[in-house]
Structure 1
Amino acid sequence: MPQQTGTPDPAPDQATDPNFRPPGRRRLRAATVTVALGAALFIAGTVGLSPLNQHPGTAKDERPGGSSPRGSIDALRAELRRLPENPVGWAQLGMAYVQQGRTTADPALYAKAESALRRSLKVQPRDNYQAETGMGALAAARHDFATALTWGRKAAATNPSNAAAQGVLADAYTQLGRYEESYRAVQRMTDLRPDTSSLARASYTWELRGDIPRARALMRRALNDAASPSDQAFARLHLATLAQESGDAATALREASAGLRGAKADAPLLEARARAHAALGHDRQAVADYTAAVAIVPLPQYVLGLGELQQSLGRDAEARTQYGILRAQEQVRRVSGDPADTDAILFEADHGDAERAVTMGRAAVETRPFIAVQDAYAWALHRAGRDAEALPYADRALSLGTRGALHRYHRGMIHDALGDAPAARKDLEEALAVDPHFHPLHAPRARTALDRALDRVPDHALDRVPDRNEGTS
Structure 2
Amino acid sequence: MKKNYFYLAALSVMLVAGYVFYQKYQNVSDPTPPLRERQGPISTTSEWINTKAAIQGLQRKLREKPGDLKSKLLLGLAYMQEARVTGEHPYYYPAALGLIQDVLDHESQDQVLIYEATVAKATIQLSLHQFDEALETGKEALKINDHGAAVYGVLCDANVELGHYEEAITMADKMASLRPDLKSYSRVSYLREIHGDMPGAIEAMALAVAAGFPGLEQTAWATVTLGSLYEKTGDLKNAAVQFNKAIQFSPNYAFAISGLGRLAVKNKDYKTAEQLFTQAANIIPEFSFQEELVRLYQQQGKTAKAQATMVDLLNGLEEDQEAGHVVDLELANIYLELGKNPNKALEYALNEYKRRPDNIDVCKALAAIYYQKQDYATAATYLKKAKRTNSQDAGLVCLDGLVKFRLGDQANGTTLIQKSFTINPYQNTLCSAEAKNLVNKALSKL
With structure 1 as the length reference, what TM-score do the two structures score? 0.77
Say whether the 8 Å CA contact 2:62–2:71 is kept in structure 1. Answer: yes
State yes or no: 1:207 paired with 2:207. no
Residue 204 of structure 1 aligns to a residue in which SS? helix
* 1:410 to 1:69, Cα distance in 2 relative to 1, 3 A: farther
Q: What stretches of structure 1 of length at least 5 have no aligned partner?
A: 1-58, 60-64, 459-473
- The CA distance in 2 between the partners of 1:271 and 1:244, in whole Å, is 13
The 10-residue stretch of structure 1 (350-359 or 183-192) with the greater mean CA deviation from structure 2: 350-359
Say whether the 8 Å CA contact 2:130–2:325 is kept in structure 1. Answer: no
Q: How does 1:303-322 map to 2 (within 5 A)?
A: 303-322=290-309
The 10-residue stretch of structure 1 (366-375 or 176-185) with the greater mean CA deviation from structure 2: 366-375
Q: How does 1:204-283 map to 2 (within 5 A)?
A: 204-230=190-216, 231-283=218-270
* 1:331 to 1:384, Cα distance in 2 relative to 1, 3 A: farther
Q: Aligned AA for 2:424? A: D
Say whether the 8 Å CA contact 2:399–2:431 is kept in structure 1. Answer: no
- The CA distance in 2 between the partners of 1:281 and 1:182, in whole Å, is 39
The 10-residue stretch of structure 1 (371-380 or 446-455) with the greater mean CA deviation from structure 2: 446-455
Q: Aligned AA for 1:428? A: I
- The CA distance in 2 between the partners of 1:328 and 1:420, in whole Å, is 42
Residue 107 of structure 1 aligns to a residue in which SS? helix
Q: Aligned AA for 2:75? A: L
Q: How does 1:45-56 map to 2 (within 5 A)?
A: none
- The CA distance in 1 between the partners of 2:313 and 2:242, in whole Å, is 29
Offset, 1:154: 1.2
Q: 1:78 aligns with which of 42, 60, 63?
A: 60
The 10-residue stretch of structure 1 (360-369 or 204-213) with the greater mean CA deviation from structure 2: 204-213
* 1:191 to 1:427, Cα distance in 2 relative to 1, 3 A: same
* 1:432 to 1:296, Cα distance in 2 relative to 1, 3 A: same
State yes or no: 1:358 paired with 2:346. yes
Say whether the 8 Å CA contact 1:333–1:339 is kept in structure 2. Answer: yes
Residue 160 of structure 1 aligns to a residue in which SS? coil
2:153 corresponds to which residue?
167
Say whether the 8 Å CA contact 1:66–1:229 is kept in structure 2. Answer: no
* 1:72 to 1:310, Cα distance in 2 relative to 1, 3 A: farther
Q: 1:121 aligns with which of 98, 104, 113?
A: 104
The 10-residue stretch of structure 1 (327-336 or 102-111) with the greater mean CA deviation from structure 2: 327-336
Higher share of residues assigned helix: 2
Say whether the 8 Å CA contact 1:312–1:440 is kept in structure 2. Answer: no
Aligned length: 394
Q: Aligned AA for 1:301? A: S
User: Which of structures 1 and 2 has the bigger CA Rg?
Assistant: 2
* 1:224 to 1:93, Cα distance in 2 relative to 1, 3 A: same
Offset, 1:338: 5.2
- The CA distance in 2 between the partners of 1:102 and 1:93, in whole Å, is 14
State yes or no: 1:107 paired with 2:90. yes
- The CA distance in 2 between the partners of 1:88 and 1:453, in whole Å, is 66
Say whether the 8 Å CA contact 1:260–1:270 is kept in structure 2. Answer: yes
- The CA distance in 2 between the partners of 1:376 and 1:67, in whole Å, is 42
Offset, 1:224: 1.9
With structure 2 as the length reference, what TM-score do the two structures score? 0.81
Offset, 1:414: 2.8
Q: Aligned AA for 1:417? A: R
Q: CA offsets, 1:312-343, max 9 Å, x none?
A: 23333322222222333455467677533433
* 1:338 to 1:124, Cα distance in 2 relative to 1, 3 A: closer
1:390 corresponds to which residue?
379
RMSD of aligned Cα (Å): 2.6
Offset, 1:72: 4.9
1:29 corresponds to which residue?
none
Offset, 1:402: 1.6
Q: Aligned AA for 2:155? A: L
1:137 corresponds to which residue?
123
* 1:345 to 1:69, Cα distance in 2 relative to 1, 3 A: farther
2:181 corresponds to which residue?
195
Q: CA offsets, 1:301-322, max 9 Å, x none?
A: 2211121122223333322222
Residue 229 of structure 1 aligns to a residue in which SS? coil
- The CA distance in 2 between the partners of 1:233 and 1:71, in whole Å, is 23
Offset, 1:352: 4.3
Q: How does 1:389-428 map to 2 (within 5 A)?
A: 389-428=378-417
1:12 corresponds to which residue?
none
* 1:69 to 1:360, Cα distance in 2 relative to 1, 3 A: farther
1:286 corresponds to which residue?
273
- The CA distance in 2 between the partners of 1:288 and 1:347, in whole Å, is 22
Q: What stretches of structure 2 of length at least 5 have no aligned partner?
A: 1-41
2:365 corresponds to which residue?
376
Q: Aligned AA for 1:90? A: K
* 1:337 to 1:108, Cα distance in 2 relative to 1, 3 A: closer
Q: How does 1:415-454 map to 2 (within 5 A)?
A: 415-439=404-428, 443-454=432-443
- The CA distance in 2 between the partners of 1:68 and 1:449, in whole Å, is 56
Q: CA offsets, 1:348-380, max 9 Å, x none?
A: 123143112112111102212321111112112
* 1:336 to 1:133, Cα distance in 2 relative to 1, 3 A: closer
Q: CA offsets, 1:445-467, max 9 Å, x none?
A: 332122134356x7xxxxxxxxx
Q: CA offsets, 1:99-125, max 9 Å, x none?
A: 333442432323211221122113344
**Same amino acid, percent of matched pairs:** 24
Q: CA offsets, 1:129-185, max 9 Å, x none?
A: 011111111211221111101111111221222211111111101111111111111
Q: CA offsets, 1:250-289, max 9 Å, x none?
A: 2111210111111111121112111122212222222111
